[in-house]
Amino acid sequence: MANQYPLHTLGVIALSLSLLTPAHAASLTRDNGAVVGDNQHSQTAGPNGPVLLQDVQLIQKLQRFDRERIPERVVHARGAGAYGTFEASADISALTRAKVFAKGSKTPVFVRFSTVIHGLHSPETLRDPRGFATKFYTSEGNWDLVGNNLPVFFIRDAIKFPDMVHSLKPSPETNLQDPNRFFDFFAHQPEATHMLTRLYSDYGIPKGYQYMDGNSVHAWKLVNAQGRYVYVKFHWASRQGQHNLTMQQAAAIQAQDFNHASRELIKAIKHKQYPQWDLYLQVMQPEDMAKLDYNPLDATKIWSGVPEQKVGTMTLNRLPANIFQETEQSAFAPSNLVPGIEPSEDRLLQGRIFAYADTQLHRVGSNGLQLPVNRPLVAVDNNNQDGAMNGGQRQGGVNYEPSRQGSLQQDASARYSQLPLSGSTQQAGISKTLNFRQAGEFYRSLNKQEQANLIANLAADLGRVRNEATRNTMLSYFYKADSGYGQAISKALNANVGEIAKLAAQLHE
Ligand code: HEM
């Protein structure tokens, strides 16, 4: 009772269909397969009369053109994709039962890199986090690792995400992005100080997609065959090295070619200079989590001091043949998980577990996971059915479970791990916020030139903020992170450093 044929079966169907292709295969056809007689002239009533509705080629061509677009992604609309392979190199079976990590196993992948805020054809030279989403077509179903280049995020609770994105997107009134709007928002989010510091450093404009790392940002759980879990963070380390653009370099490139990141990726793969990333894991035992002075399930934090271990390498070696069908219709979701990999209790991640599959039901459609780029290599057998554009091959009368007649059964070995709980429901922030310390540590890890670039990059945007209270609040956050950092950016904006220091003194970590 297959809901959908596995890929190899579909291959056979496609092959046999191709044998049925008419002899005049090179002829232009309409969507019903009929040959087109004239694709250059509409049918008209004589030399001077109106165009005829009965010209089905004209009508169909316009109808299909009118419907070419699907909604673009609400964020991460601009992107570039590539296929490749992930090869697992370490035995971590003590940590996870997921076969994608069985030492020596090779798993096909599709990766989509992206910018976040602006639309489908926006410049790739803008300051923005970069998306780094990987779909692993594993032997146990698809696993999507949907990360970013920067290792932390602006906020720690999904309930803030729509407001944050609204503030960062162009204004609904002017259609212009405006620092007055997004700093107005961020002046209420001290936890964003770490991410903003990284974003306004030169890491906020990577030189190209091959030249950036990827990060899960969130902690995930790896679960072993005994059901025991550990918390992990994933990190893709670029073998090409991390290279960024300064504000001036980005402006110069943008003037010539605002598609440089897609172009460089395409060029590298066409020239067989296949980009590679090593995948690293940081591991934390559940019993060690409470010992830290920050919350390790807070997406605004890195796990500093926790060693990394390499678990595999990814190589990208094939470009999509059709950008719309593959890159545009690809649907990555943190909820696409396989046994042995589970979400942590990170509040931002929990919102993402819902949001991606939800937006994709709207953006790509109920049966979007049947598309070649999204469908698993393994068979999909379940009783989810119907919906628009259903091209699956579900058969038989038993579309429910359990049943004495059906053959589909749950498998207890794939049950979720169990999390001990206590207490009552609540609506409250986390207790160990530590909003500023890691921002200061990152600032001090930069060399003098990088620090100067960060100050200049920040001053360029924060200097456009007209509201003094908003500007000073932001400055106090940077001062609280590191007094030298706060002084430098305050001076660049001609702010009263003494006043900023006073504001910073009132802030709690
Ligand atoms: C609660 C917080 C968040 C929400 C609600 C959210 C929501 C979304 C939505 C609705 C999309 C469009 C998906 C689509 O149309 O296919 C998207 C794309 C994306 N998001 Fe998030 N996001 C959040 C946080 C994050 C974080 C923390 C990261 C990185 C760790 C991230 C990385 C990405 C990436 C890489 C994409 C593009 C995937 C692709 O290439 O198709 N997002 N996000």
pLDDT more than 90, % of the chain: 93
Evaluate if residue 127 carries a pLDDT over 50.
Answer: yes
Q: What is the pLDDT of residues 243-256, one digit of tens each?
A: 999 999 999 999 99
What is the reported pLDDT for 16?
Answer: 41
What is the reported pLDDT for 395?
Answer: 87
Evaluate if residue 24 carries a pLDDT over 50.
Answer: no
Instruction: Give the model's confidence band at 412: pLDDT under 50 very low, under 70 low, under 90 confident, else very high.
Output: very high
By annotation, the residues acting in catalysis are: 76, 148
What is the reported pLDDT for 19?
Answer: 43
What is the reported pLDDT for 407?
Answer: 79
Only one residue has tokens 């390499």, namely 310
Evaluate if residue 461 carries a pLDDT over 50.
Answer: yes
State how beta strands 229-238 and 214-215 pair: antiparallel
400 DSSP assignment:
S
Q: What is the mean pLDDT of residues 174-186?
A: 98
Distance from C-alpha of 110 to C-alpha of 281, rounded to nearest angstrom: 20
Evaluate if residue 480 carries a pLDDT over 50.
Answer: yes
CA distances to 21, 266, 387, 414, 459 from 321, in Å:
21, 11, 27, 36, 42
Residues in Cβ contact with 471 at an 8 Å cutoff, skipping those fewer than 6 apart:
183, 462, 465, 493, 495
Evaluate if residue 47 carries a pLDDT over 90.
Answer: yes
> What structural domains and CATH numbers belong to the chain?
79-160+192-370 (2.40.180.10), 437-505 (no CATH)
Tell me if 137 is assigned to a ligand binding site: no
Distance from C-alpha of 294 to C-alpha of 257, rounded to nearest angstrom: 43
Query: Among positive and negative, which fits the CA dihedral 303, 308, 312, 313?
Result: positive
Residue 330 alpha carbon, nearest atom of ligand 1: 41
Q: What is the pLDDT of residues 462-478, one digit of tens each?
A: 999 999 999 999 999 99
Evaluate if residue 483 carries a pLDDT over 60.
Answer: yes
Evaluate if residue 493 carries a pLDDT over 80.
Answer: yes
Q: What is the mean pLDDT of residues 391-399?
A: 89
Instruction: Give the model's confidence band at 105: pLDDT under 50 very low, under 70 low, under 90 confident, else very high.
Output: very high
Pairwise pLDDT comparison (12 vs 205), residue with the higher score: 205
Nearest CA to ligand 1 atom 3: 352
Question: Residues with Cβ within 6 A of ligand 1?
Answer: 73-76, 79, 112, 114, 131, 133, 146-148, 153, 158, 161, 217, 299, 330-332, 348, 351-352, 355-356, 359-360, 363
Q: What is the pLDDT of residues 260-302, one digit of tens each?
A: 999 999 999 999 999 999 999 999 999 999 999 999 999 999 9
Q: For residue 93, how far is its CA from the centre of ligand 1 (angstroms)? A: 29
What is the reported pLDDT for 20?
Answer: 46
Q: What is the pLDDT of residues 192-218, one digit of tens each?
A: 999 999 999 999 999 999 999 999 999
Pairwise pLDDT comparison (303 vs 392), residue with the higher score: 303
Q: What is the mean pLDDT of residues 475-484?
A: 98
Distance from C-alpha of 290 to C-alpha of 280, rounded to nearest angstrom: 23
What is the reported pLDDT for 25?
Answer: 58
Evaluate if residue 303 carries a pLDDT over 70.
Answer: yes
Question: Of 253, 243, 236, 250, which Cα lies nearest the Cα of 211?
Answer: 243
Q: What is the pLDDT of residues 418-434, one digit of tens each?
A: 999 999 999 999 999 99
Nearest CA to ligand 1 atom 2: 158
